Amino acid sequence: MSIHPGGPAFAQWVAAARLRAQRPPQQPRQPLLAAGQLVGSVAEGFLDENRLMSFLNNGLMLLKEEHEGVLAWHLQVPADEVTPALNVLAATLRDEGLCGPWRDEQLAVCNPAGEVVGTIERGAVRVLGIATRAVHLVGQSPDGHIWVQKRSMSKPHNPGQWDTLMGGMVSAADTLDQALARETWEEAGLRVERLHGLTHGGHVLFSRPSSEGQGAGFMVERIDWFSAVVPQGMQPDNQDGEVELFDQLSPDAVRQRVATGGFTLEAGLVLADFFGA
């Protein structure tokens, strides 16, 4: 089914949103390496003397040395100890009030080649500039309406805003397909094998400042999105308490709600990609 990109208000929102999704850091950042592998970055001055002493007291070997011509922070551990060391770092940041919301969920930590070198608590990824992956599902009804969800008011990010049928992180234990299946069940109570025409539609990229770590965070994320038709008579049913309600909207109504700021930035850009805007 061909869906028109929408009117000028939607086009203006999309243009501005793409600029918001790709913004430089608000302050200079320094590379973060673990076992000699580049894994993220930290805001300049974030590891001041007091915080550094706290890290050292927790047994972390953090040194500031040159890397490819710039000063960088090096977490000096053997390759097989990257995960425990990163999680000690995350817990230390949490204890000092410098993390995002603690989720007890491990996300993969990769080097620039995309190779997994360890894992870390989800709450610490943005303050450490660690790249993450997420997955969204754009669900349609057979008549062309679009299933959307309203996020629970208890969500730590964007409570009460509208979202795609499903959006979630790819955990360290998941492949992309596994994350799609797990999150679709947890958020919408739907089994992906029962959906029709499930297709990988594309991806959107984010690189922008975030509020974690008292404003020292930086979000680096790739969102892969899929689309599918929810068969007639099948209703989304939230399983994890993170969705307030589901609704079906016409494509025009979705574009209008996106244009007036009703959707999260991430969902809005996924939907813009879906609409071909």
pLDDT at residue 5 is higher than 60: no
User: Cα separation of 133 and 116, whole Å?
Assistant: 13
**Do 244 and 137 share a domain, yes or no?**
yes
Question: Is 1 within the bounds of a domain?
Answer: no
Helix (H) or strand (E) holding 91: helix 82-95
Listed residues 89, 124, 159: the one ending a domain: 124
Q: How many residues does the chain have?
A: 277
Contact 217, 210 (CB under 8 A): yes
* CATH classification at residue 206: 3.90.79.10
Residue identified by tokens 């360890």 is: 118
Rg of the chain over all Cα atoms, to the nearest angstrom: 20
Neighbour tally for 207: CB within 10 Å = 16
DSSP annotation of 230 reads P
Domain count, the chain: 2
Average pLDDT, the chain: 93
* CATH classification at residue 43: 3.30.750.160
**Do 71 and 172 share a domain, yes or no?**
no
pLDDT at residue 274 is higher than 90: yes
Per residue in 92-145, pLDDT (tens digit) is: 899 888 999 999 999 999 999 999 999 999 999 999 999 999 999 999 999 999
**Do 241 and 150 share a domain, yes or no?**
yes
pLDDT of residue 239: 95
Bridge partners for 208 per DSSP: 219
**Do 14 and 151 share a domain, yes or no?**
yes
Listed residues 58, 92, 124: the one ending a domain: 124
Q: Among positive and negative, which fits the CA dihedral 233, 238, 244, 250?
A: negative
**Do 137 and 211 share a domain, yes or no?**
yes
**Do 15 and 46 share a domain, yes or no?**
no
At residue 158 the predicted structure's pLDDT band, cuts being 50, 70 and 90, is confident
CA dist 27 to 97, 209, 218, Å? 20, 9, 10
**Do 111 and 163 share a domain, yes or no?**
no
pLDDT at residue 275 is higher than 90: yes
Q: How far apart are the first and last CA of the chain?
A: 15
DSSP annotation of 152 reads P
**Do 228 and 164 share a domain, yes or no?**
yes
pLDDT of residue 210: 94
**Do 154 and 18 share a domain, yes or no?**
yes
* Helix pair angle (49-57, 82-95), 10° resolution: 130
More confidently predicted of 156 and 179: 179
Report which of 187, 131, 157, 161 is spatially closest to residue 268, judged by C-alpha positions. 161
Q: Among positive and negative, which fits the CA dihedral 245, 248, 249, 254?
A: positive
Question: Is 228 within the bounds of a domain?
Answer: yes
pLDDT of residue 6: 63
DSSP annotation of 124 reads G
**Do 14 and 139 share a domain, yes or no?**
yes
The residue segments making up the domain with residue 241 are 8-23+132-275
**Do 159 and 245 share a domain, yes or no?**
yes
**Do 103 and 193 share a domain, yes or no?**
no
Contact 198, 187 (CB under 8 A): no
Q: What is the pTM of this model?
A: 0.92
Listed residues 68, 100, 124: the one ending a domain: 124
Question: Is 3 within the bounds of a domain?
Answer: no
pLDDT at residue 51 is higher than 70: yes
Contact 164, 270 (CB under 8 A): yes
Per residue in 10-28, pLDDT (tens digit) is: 999 999 999 999 999 999 9
